[in-house]
Structure 1
Amino acid sequence: MNLSDLQHPAITLSSELDGFRVEIDAKGERADIVLNRPPFNVISMLQREQLRITFEALDANDAVRVIVLRSEGDHFSSGGNIKGFLEATPEHVAKLAWNIAAPARCSKPVIAANRGYCFGVGFEISLACDFRLVTPTTLYALPEQKLGQIPGSGGSARLQKMVGITRTKDIVMRSRRILGQQAYEWGVATALVPDAELEQATDQLVDELRSFSPLAQRTAKKLLNDTEDSPLTVAIELEGHCYSRLRSSEDFREGVEAFHDKRAPKFVGL
């Protein structure tokens, strides 16, 4: 697939996708963004911008309910193109965090399927996803200290929200690698599955998410993102407003009727 096929109005980049491809399964209501620059799927500067545009385009695509970010080969991504940082302008570097936060801004559920190396920007974009599936081979790391740098695309900030300042300092300031098992135990990963079952687990999660109301899922994701830093009273107040709005939706009526009829609901997203 070419970038132009996604029909995004903000496309000003090359029509060729740099280091990844997009697969859309309209019947399965699923889109896969597949990193495919073997063997380590290094993420270039151009690729970061294209990934952001791709997430925005898929968010606007009515045929897609769930987005999966995955890779070819034994490793998700060993990180960014190190030399590219020296060549990039300050203005370009300033956009890095915004580009990598695209999965979080996307209104649809985003799953990261991580195996093997998941370093630097590979870890950061996974942290911006809603669900992270890992295997015993998964290695998470933010190794920027070894380059005389710090994470620059939201990695340390997102990680600190998940695991606290003590563990984050241990990971960031020592460039420590965290195994999939530990990531799961610390709450960084949603699930730990055998390496050979990662694709199957991803498929199952996609189908599970598709079974819910698209409107309710969009609402839940935005509410949780928006209230992450809010005082409890504000979060409860916003939750109440969202709940009230959903009560007038067709999906809520369908859900209630399906519950009483003892049948599977047929949600339409309205």
Structure 2
Amino acid sequence: MTTPTSDSRFDTFDGFRVETDPASERGDIILDRPPMNVINMGQRDQLRAAFEALDRDDRVRVIVLRAEGEHFSSGGYIKGFLQASPEHVSHLADNVAAPWRASKPVIAANQGYTFGVGFEISLACDFRIATQSCRYALPEQKLGQIPGSGGSARLQAIIGIARTKDVVMRSRRITGQQAYDWGIATEVVDDSELAAATAHLVDELRGFSPLAQRTAKKLINDSENATVAIGIELEGHAYSRLRQSDDFAEGVNAFHEKRRPEFSGR
């Protein structure tokens, strides 16, 4: 078993750190601003840069967003919104969408308070593992504001307009179990099991073809607001391209030979 190491490329980042574990093909972005892991305005730009760097890193197959301490994040630094220009805050969603844009699978491991931008960046990830202690919320109405980093739009795509209004307009908190029941969370686990559940999902995702994983993520993202007919058309083109790949040939051969495939990502 290898121990992840801090990545020197990210030593100057504020409020979080990055660890890479090439043996596990895993890169972790770890929120670490005790006690509540508040995300300040400048940190959003840095988080985007970290996601983009890990996405380019050939040693990393899966990216994990997690946090130190009892809470994932209580949200953004409130005074920072008053200090930033209207032009700046109008583009906050661009940085928070970095996990969504990444070509690799991204897992959010959520515990405790997962509020505001903490919830929004988790919604931009591909998988969310929530603990029993997890509480998701978009509390901006209490400040005379609305979610500004894609939270209401992404949430509505998952749970529908009625439930989104209930969550956003009432600043309602959702438990980890309720998030799982509503389809927000992929899994809900005991707090003591979060690290193991995350590692298990990383290992599972690593077992698939990197090329097929990237293709599936891009196809699903691109088809999110498409009609069924357009989605099927896009799927057909992507399927045809993968049909020519080395990974598909390896997968078919491994199936017939009753062995585990060794995918190359080509």
TM-score range, shorter chain: over 0.9
Alignment of 1:25-104 (within 5 A): 25-104=21-100
Q: Which amino acid aligns with 2:68?
A: E
Distance 1:265 1:3, change over 3 A: closer
**Alignment check: 8 A CA contact 2:219 2:235 kept:** yes
Aligned-pair distance for 1:95?
A: 2.1
- Give 3-state SS (helix, strand or coil) of 1:27's partner: helix
Identify which of 5, 12, 16 aligns with 2:9. Answer: 5
Alignment map for 1:199-214 (pairs within 5 Å):
199-214=195-210
Partner of 2:265: 269
- Which residue among 127, 131, 137 is the counterpart of 1:131? 127
Query: How big is the shift at 1:90?
Result: 1.8
Give 4+ residue runs of structure 1 displaced > 4 Å after superposition. Answer: 1-4
| 1:112 has 2:116 as partner | no
Q: Is the aligned partner of 1:167 residue 2:171?
A: no
User: Are the aligned partners of 2:38 and 2:73 in contact in 1 as well (CA < 8 Å)?
Assistant: yes
CA shift, 1:237, in A, is 0.5
- Per-residue CA deviations over 1:28-75 (Å, capped at 9, x if unaligned) read 100000000011000001110000011111111100000000000000
* Counterparts of 1:233 and 1:61, CA distance in 2: 35
3-state secondary structure, aligned to 2:218: helix
CA distance in structure 1 between the partners assigned to 2:37 and 2:167 by the alignment: 22
* 1:158 aligned to which of 154, 157, 160: 154
CA contact 2:133–2:176 (8 Å) conserved in 1: yes
Q: 1:246 matched to which residue of 2?
A: 242
Give the match's secondary structure for 2:58: coil
Structure 2, unaligned runs of 5 or more: none
Calculate percent identity across the aligned residue pairs.
70
- Corresponding position of 1:233: 229
What's the counterpart of residue 11 of structure 1?
none
TM-score, scaled relative to structure 2:
0.97
User: How many angstroms apart in 2 are the aligned matches of 1:85 and 1:5?
Assistant: 28
Aligned AA (1:48): R
- Give 1:92 deviation, angstroms: 1.7
3-state DSSP class of the match of 2:70? coil
Quick check: 2:7–2:20 contact (8 Å CA) kept in 1? no
Gapped regions of structure 1 (runs ≥ 5): 7-14
How much has 1:16 moved relative to structure 2? 1.2
8 A contact 2:7–2:19 mirrored in 1: no
Q: How do residues 185-224 of structure 1 correspond to structure 2 at under 5 angstroms?
A: 185-224=181-220
> SS where residue 64 of structure 1 aligns?
coil
Structure 1: how far apart are the matches of 2:129 and 2:137?
16
Asked whether the equivalents of residues 109 and 130 of structure 1 are also in contact (C-alpha less than 8 Å), the reply is yes
Aligned length: 262
TM-score (norm 1): 0.95
1:94 positional shift:
2.0
Local SS of the residue matching 1:140? strand
